[in-house]
Amino acid sequence: MGDATATNPSSPTAAMDPDSEVVFDFLPYLCQYKSGRIHRPGGAPTVPTGTDPATGVVSKDIRAGPASARVYLPPGATGKIPVIIYFHGGGFVVGSPARPGTHNYLNDLVARSGAIGVSGYYRLAPEHKLPAAYDDAWAALRWAVTLGDGEDPWLLEHADLSRVFLAGCSAGANIAHNTAVRASAPGALPDGVTIRGLALVHPYFTGSEAVGGEMAFGPEIRPFMDRTWRFVVSETVGLDDPRVNPFVDDAARKASAGIPCERVLVCVAENDFLLKERALWHHREIKASGYAGEVELFESKGVGHAFHFDMLDSEQGVELQERTVAFIKK
C-alpha cells in the first residue's frame, strides 16, 4: 500500500508512458497515474431508486441547489418520524448512496428503525478534495432540516425535526462528526431542529502520535496514513489536522465537546486493524472532553472494517443494525 510504480523496468515504453506510471496507489480504492488519470478498480456500480422488494422501503434521488441525496421512506409511514442523515464511506475517494451495499444497508436501517433516511451524495477526492465532501454533507443536512427547502412531500408530512440523527461509516463517520461540529455554530440550524444523536461506525480518525494498540503498528503505517490524508485534502497540516484528529489540541477538543448532539454512539470492529484503536480513543476522548451528552460504545466481534455491507444478514451484521436502531429509538 502507499506510493508505488506499476511499470515494468524491462519495458522503456511503459516507463515513459505517463498513463501507465502510478504516482499514488491508494489500495483498494484507486490508482492515480502520472498523466493525472484516476482508475478506480471497483468501478462505480449503482442501483436505482424505487421500492425495495425485501423491505418495502421506497427511495428517490433529489437535487435541490447544492444538495444531492437519496431519500428513503419506510413502509406504512404515518405521523412524524425520526430523520437519519447518513454519509457513506470509501476513503473520501469512492462510493455513493447508489452503491449496492450502501443502498441495501439504508433500506434495512430505515425499515428497522421506522425513520426517514437521507443519504448524502458528496464529491470525491482527488478530483474534488476536502472540504468539498464536508460542504456537500452540510448542504444535504440543511436540505433535510429545511424540509427540502419546504418542498419535499415526504419530509413535510413525516420529518420530526426534533429527532434528527447524523450517522456514517469510516470516512462517512468522519464526515458525520465534522458536520456535527459545524452544526454547533450559533444559528447554523433552524429553530426547532434537534440533533439527538451521532452514530460513528468504524470511524476514520488518525493522528501523528500513536495511541493505544497503535503502538504496535509497523513503521510504514503512520507515513501511509499521512500520505493518504494529504491525498484527499486541499490544505492541511497533516495528521494533526483537527478534521481527522478531533482532540489534537484545546481548540479541537472544545469544538468536539460542543457538538449539539444528546448522545454519541461509537461502533468498532474487533479485527479493524487500521482504525479500531483510534475509534476507541475517540470514545475515551469525547467522554473526557467535557461533552455533556451520553457516550456509548459497541464492538462487533470477529469481523473487520465495514464488514456489515457484505454481511448484512449475518449475526454480527444484525447485531450492529439492531444496536444502531436502539440508539435511534432510545
| Residue 119 bears catalytic tag | no
Q: What are 98-144's pLDDT values in tens digits?
A: 999 999 999 999 999 999 999 999 999 999 999 999 999 999 999 99
In this prediction, residues 61-87 reach a mean pLDDT of 93
The Cα–Cα gap between 207 and 84 comes to: 29
Residue 329 pLDDT > 90: yes
The alpha carbon of 295 is separated from its chain's Cα centroid by a whole number of angstroms, namely 19
Q: Which of 119, 272, 289, 308 is catalytic?
A: 272
Domains in the chain, please, with CATH?
Answer: 61-329 (3.40.50.1820)
pLDDT of residue 243: 98
In this prediction, residues 238-246 reach a mean pLDDT of 98
Give the DSSP letter of residue 188. S
State the average pLDDT for the chain. Answer: 92
Confidence class for position 17, pLDDT limits 50, 70, 90: low
The alpha carbon of 252 is separated from its chain's Cα centroid by a whole number of angstroms, namely 19
Residue 11 pLDDT > 70: no
C-alpha cell at 50: 424505487
| Residue 305 bears catalytic tag | yes
Q: Which of 119, 170, 289, 300 is catalytic?
A: 170
- In the block, cell 428517490 appears at 60
Please tell me the pTM assigned to this model: 0.92
pLDDT of residue 16: 52
Kindly give, in sequence order, each residue whose CB lies less than 8 Å from that of residue 241, ignoring residues fewer than 6 positions away: 229, 233, 248
pLDDT of residue 168: 98
In this prediction, residues 278-295 reach a mean pLDDT of 97
Residue 42 pLDDT > 80: no
| Residue 170 bears catalytic tag | yes
CB-neighbour burial class of residue 200 (10 A; exposed 0-12, middle 13-18, buried 19+): buried
User: What 3 state SS string does 22-55 have?
Assistant: EEEEECCCEEEECCCCEECCCCCCCCCCEECCCC
